[in-house]
Every structure is written in C-alpha cells, then in structure tokens.
Structure 1
Amino acid sequence: MENSSSSATSFNASYNQLDVPLCHCRKPTRMAQSWTDDNPGRVFFKCDTHGFSVWADKEKPFGWQKLRLIEAREQIRRQKEEIRALKTSLRETHVSLSSNSPNVDAEMFAEEKKKLEFEAMAAKEREKLLRQFVVISWGGFIVVTTMILTMVKK
C-alpha cells in the first residue's frame, strides 16, 4: 500500500485499546486519516514503524463525496500556503522596521512631539478664553449689582 506519512494526519477516534489492531510487528497501531486522491478522508490504522496497517472503514469514498473531500483538501492546502506567505511577509516587515528603527523612532518621536505641542497650545488657548470669560462675567456681575444698588438707593 502507499506510504501513510505523506498522506495521513493524526486522527482522534473513540476506539479503545481493544478495538485497535496490532501491526505485523506486534506493536499497537493508531488511527490516522488519508488525504490522497484515491482515499480522501478515509480512516486507517497506522504503525509508527511501518506506516499503513489496515483500513478502519471498509468502503472507499466515491462520487460527489470524494470530489468534495478532494476540493476541501486543496482549499486547506491553499489556505496554509497563504498563511505561510503572510507570516513570511510579516517577518520581513518586522525585520525591515527593526533595521530602520532609529529613523522610524526619530520620525515617530518628532511627530508625537508636534502633536503634544499642538495640544499644549490648544489647552493654553482654552485656559486663556476661560479666564477672559470669568473676568468678564465677574465684571458684568459687579456692574449689574452696582446698578441695582444705585436704583434701590434713589
């Protein structure tokens, strides 16, 4: 049969130790799942030393089910490759940023400094306006109070 290391992945099943067959070398086997074109999704028992031992399911997949399993396998492979490419790109970006970090840090520092200076100027302007408002309010209060007291005295 075919080499299971290239076509199988680990597969958890509810088989207990009594249901698991022994390999011809008398070692216990474990369950795995085939992802070859001939047997997509088919479960088999695998010896860690010799590979394929015996099929766990008796029927081969066929028809539309087989096609869907092959399509799913190809989609998973494409997605894994895309993830691998994205991780590589992320690593390269990280390396280029860390190699340019003095320039990037200086630029970021200057930009942050400008933002903080602008915010400080805006805060001072708001404080100045608030002081003017308080002074004008108190001045108006004093003028109005004086006018009322003058009217009351007459």
Structure 2
Amino acid sequence: MRKNPRRRFLSCRGRRVGRDYVKCDFFQWFDLEPPHGWQHLALLEARDIINEQKEEIAKLRNQVSKQAHQNSNVQISNDLVEQRNDKSEECEPLKRAVLVLTERSSVLRNVLVASSAGFVVVLGGIIGLNFKF
C-alpha cells in the first residue's frame, strides 16, 4: 500500500466458515499498469505530508493535554492558597483570644502565689500570737 497509495485492486474477502474466514488467494490490480508520472509522485508526496501533519497534530494534542493538566494543578494550588488565607483570617481572632487567656492565666497564677504567701504569713502571725499568750 505504501508503494501504491490509492491504487485500486480486486480481491475476495474469503468465505466464512463458522466464526472464521477461509483465506482467499485472489488478488489483481484493477488498473494493470503501476502508477507512474507526476500523479503518482503527487500522491506519494501528499501521503507523506498527511502523515507528518497527523504526527504534528498528535504532538500538539499531547502538549494541550499537558498544559491543561498543569493549568488544573495551578487552579488547585490557587484554590488551596485561598482556603489557607480564609483559614488564616479565621485563626486571627483565636490567636488573640489565646494571648488574652495566656496573660490572664499568668496574672491569676501570680495572684494565687501571692495570696498563698500572704496566707502563710497571716497564719504564721496567728500561730505566733497564740504561743505568746
């Protein structure tokens, strides 16, 4: 077929026997002379151009597919950045609340230590007064 593009021929398909076809040995060119001249060369050249264009189309489709995949990854990344920013905005009030609670806890701990020390001093004074009398 490569040497004779678009050249017509006669052949039988073979006869069907069960699920298979029996081989047919009949083959004859419809036009008895092989193609020649500028028409034959034009057909060969056209065939080569078509094959090159098919390969180029396949490469371009592959590139488009890769680019679409990369774009979808970029879109996913952008969506993730937006979600992170949204979550970060939600976290800011929580961070401030944690800082306030940490300061309160520190103040309360200091008050507790100071009051415990004061209690011990007062208790010591009371016990000391009881022993003098």
Same fold? TM cut 0.5:
no
TM-score (norm: length of structure 1) = 0.36
Greater percentage in helix:
2
Structure showing greater radius of gyration is: 2
